[in-house]
């Protein structure tokens, strides 16, 4: 490996999808044996750039140089041959195969499996020693945790002789402790001479893990700086193109009467797995209760039961009156009539009908409201007028209510959902991952709206996997693990480390 040639050099890469230019004339150089971060909002073009590097897309223009030689990468086979390995945000593992089988899959030596598996077993042992990447080769993927699954992805890349490792939003599904572990592994890989590209939208990870960082905004590379010479505020400014508040300005909560009481709430999912194992919590008027936890520990089911999307057992009272948890009267319509609004976790599959016009989506869930009816027909004119109002008030762009929901960016889609739910002036607002896949500018706006609702004396139940979001919005924090509430903390009296332990199921000394 020559030390003067960059491990990766991109020269003038451009890529368009129809009228949208995802990458505009992008050039970067990544020195070998370094960790290079690429940061940018959703839609900035990070993933497109990496997909070009991994051979999923073909650049319209530009050159790729690997270790000083110009390289064409028409497909992922070529990328692997050039020594590039990719760890995707959503793992590409076969769940009912073992670790060993997954590592070998697609890289078998011959038609017979046995020799390949034997060779892989030996290789894995060596890799485990070299990089401290310990995984039981005979464990089935669906039996090991996400942290380990990610290690299998890294092992897959290393087994294919990757010298350059690209990780796309690797910490999205990890606990803080697992993320720390991942970064230790990455440092170790770097020490062994591997080059790592880390794609993320989390400023903290960039600051902690990288040597250099490139900022992308709207398809352009706006800056490349040494991490040591920058600050989170500066990076945020480069990402958004203006100064941003990283913390939400809010006055202390003035909690009033109890709005939501949950006692011994249990949920069994379609596969018969118990997802909520007796949850107790209360939310009072004028406060935000934040539920922290690693994705998949029952938070989604909690929101779904309360929002009428799923049946459960136990006791839930809204303003003192019990809610039906199964059978008639337990659906989303009944919840809305009772004064519960719901910003669901997955706006694209739940909160919006992507093929519907914006104006059709503005009534979604409230489409039986008499205000939207005219005799046996729907009053589409009223809907469109309502949409115009909300688009203006919530600064949705583009402002054309006739566009389909799928034609809006993530942030603007979410604004449509938030506008719809908050404008109903609910007693209780359920919010799931309000800013997932939302650009920083819109995050700020959405956070302000949620806090404003709280200040009007409404109760808010917030579920988020982003600890930063939990800390900046919540008046109280409850941590969920394995279908239980592990404990409750006040944001001023706790820190990420303590919450991280609770999220991992370790009940702290005071829990």
Partner 1 sequence: MDRMPKWADVVLIPLISLILAAILSALVIIGIGEDPVAAVKMMVSGALGSTYGWGYTLYYATNFIFTGLAVAIAFHARMFNIGGEGQAMLGGLGVAVACLYVPWPHWSIAILGASVAAMVFGAAWAAVPAYLQARRGSHIVITTIMFNFIAAALLNYMLVNVMRPEGSMDPATRSFPEAVHLPTLHDLLAPIGITFSKAAPANVSLVIAVLACVVVWALMWRTRLGYEIRAYGHSETGAIYAGISPFRITMIAMLISGALAGLMAINNVMGEAERLVLNSTEGAGFIGIAVALMGRSHPFGVFLAAILFGFLYQGGAELALWTNIPRELIVVIQALVILFTGALDNMVRMPLERIFMAMGNKRRNIGETNPLPDAEHSTKTE
Q: How far is the CB of 369 from partner 1 (least distance, A)?
A: 10
Q: DSSP assignment, residue 140?
A: B
User: From residue 200, how far is each of 174, 205, 371, 460 by CA, in Å?
Assistant: 13, 8, 44, 29
> Which is closer to partner 1, CB of 65 or CB of 372?
372
Omega prior to 370 cis, within 30 of 0:
no
CA 483 – CA 296 distance, rounded (Å) = 9
**CA-based torsion, 478, 170, 408, 40: positive or negative:** positive
Distant-in-sequence, close-in-space partners of 129: CB < 8 Å, separation ≥ 6: none
213 or 391: CB nearest partner 1: 391
Q: How far is the CB of 451 from partner 1 (least distance, A)?
A: 24
* Token duo for residue 163: 């010298």
Question: Angle at CA 465, nearest 5°, toward 467 and 229?
Answer: 50
Q: Output the smallest distance, CB 400 to partner 1, in A.
A: 11
Phi first, then psi: give them for residue 4, nearest 5 degrees. -85, -30
Nearer of residues 355 and 456 to partner 1, judged by Cβ: 355
Q: What are phi and psi of 330, to 5 degrees?
A: -115, 10
Q: Is the CB of 100 or the CB of 343 nearer to partner 1?
A: 343
Compute the least distance from the CB of residue 393 to partner 1, in Å. 17
| Residues at the contact surface with partner 1, assessed by CB under 8 A | 16-22, 42-48, 60, 218-219, 307-309, 331-336, 342, 344, 346, 348-356, 360, 364-365, 367-368, 373, 376-378, 380, 397-398, 404, 406-412, 437
Q: How near is the Cβ of 465 to partner 1 at its closest, in Å? A: 18
Which residues lie across from 225 on neighbouring strands? 213
CB-nearer residue toward partner 1: 417 or 503: 417
How far apart (Å, rounded) are the C-alpha atoms in residues 291 and 479?
6
Q: How far is the CB of 309 from partner 1 (least distance, A)?
A: 5
Q: What one-character DSSP code corresponds to residue 350?
A: I
Question: At its nearest, how many Å lie between partner 1 and the CB of residue 292?
Answer: 23
Instruction: Say which DSSP state 347 is in.
Output: I
Of 148 and 357, CB closest to partner 1: 357
Kindly tell me which of 19 and 320 has the beta carbon lying closer to partner 1.
Answer: 19
Dig out the tokens for 394 from the structure. Answer: 């919530």
């Amino acid at each position: 490996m020559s030390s003067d040639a960059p491990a990766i050099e991109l020269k003038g890469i451009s890529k368009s999808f129809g009228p949208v230019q995802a990458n505009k004339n992008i050039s970067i150089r990544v020195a070998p044996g370094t960790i290079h971060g690429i940061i940018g909002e959703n839609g900035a073009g990070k993933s497109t750039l990496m997909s070009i590097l991994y051979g999923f897309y073909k650049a319209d223009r530009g050159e790729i140089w690997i270790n000083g030689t110009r390289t064409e990468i028409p497909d992922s086979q070529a990328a692997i041959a050039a020594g590039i390995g990719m760890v995707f945000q959503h793992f590409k593992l076969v769940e009912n195969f073992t670790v060993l089988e997954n590592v070998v899959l697609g890289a078998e030596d011959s038609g017979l499996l046995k020799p390949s598996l034997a060779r892989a077993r030996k290789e894995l042992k060596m890799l485990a020693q070299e990089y401290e990447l310990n995984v039981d080769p005979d464990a089935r993927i669906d039996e090991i945790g996400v942290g380990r699954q990610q290690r299998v992805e890294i092992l897959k890349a290393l087994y294919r002789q990757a010298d350059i490792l690209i990780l796309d939003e690797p910490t999205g599904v990890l606990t803080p402790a697992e993320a720390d572990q991942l970064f230790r592994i990455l440092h170790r890989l770097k020490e062994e001479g591997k080059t790592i590209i880390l794609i993320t939208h989390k400023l903290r990870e960039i600051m902690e893990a990288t040597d250099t960082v490139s900022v992308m905004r709207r398809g352009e590379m706006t800056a490349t700086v040494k991490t040591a010479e920058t600050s989170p505020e500066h990076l945020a400014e480069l990402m958004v193109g203006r100064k941003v508040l990283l913390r939400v300005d809010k006055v202390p909560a003035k909690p009033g009467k109890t709005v939501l009481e949950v006692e011994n709430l249990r949920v069994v999912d379609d596969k018969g797995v118990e997802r909520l194992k007796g949850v107790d919590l209360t939310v009072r008027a004028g406060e935000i209760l934040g539920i922290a936890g690693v994705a998949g520990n029952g938070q989604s089911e909690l929101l779904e039961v309360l929002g009428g999307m799923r049946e459960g057992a136990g006791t839930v009272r809204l303003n003192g009156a019990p809610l039906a948890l199964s059978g008639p009267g337990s659906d989303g319509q009944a919840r809305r009539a009772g004064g519960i609004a719901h910003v669901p976790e997955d706006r694209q599959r739940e909160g919006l009908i992507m093929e519907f016009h914006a104006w059709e989506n503005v009534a979604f869930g409230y489409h039986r409201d008499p205000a939207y009816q005219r005799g046996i027909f729907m009053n589409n004119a009223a809907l469109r007028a309502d949409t115009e109002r909300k688009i203006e008030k919530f600064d949705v762009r583009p402002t054309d209510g006739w566009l389909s929901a799928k034609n809006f960016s993530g942030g603007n889609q979410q604004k449509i959902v938030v506008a719809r739910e908050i404008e109903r002036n609910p007693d209780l607002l359920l919010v799931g991952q309000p800013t997932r896949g939302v650009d920083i500018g819109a995050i700020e706006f959405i956070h302000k709206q949620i806090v404003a609702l709280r200040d009007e004396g409404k109760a808010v139940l917030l579920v988020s996997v982003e600890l930063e979001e939990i800390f900046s919005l919540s008046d109280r924090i409850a941590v969920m693990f394995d279908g239980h509430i592990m404990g409750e903390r006040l944001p001023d009296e706790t820190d990420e480390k303590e919450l991280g332990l609770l999220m991992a199921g370790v009940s702290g000394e005071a829990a």
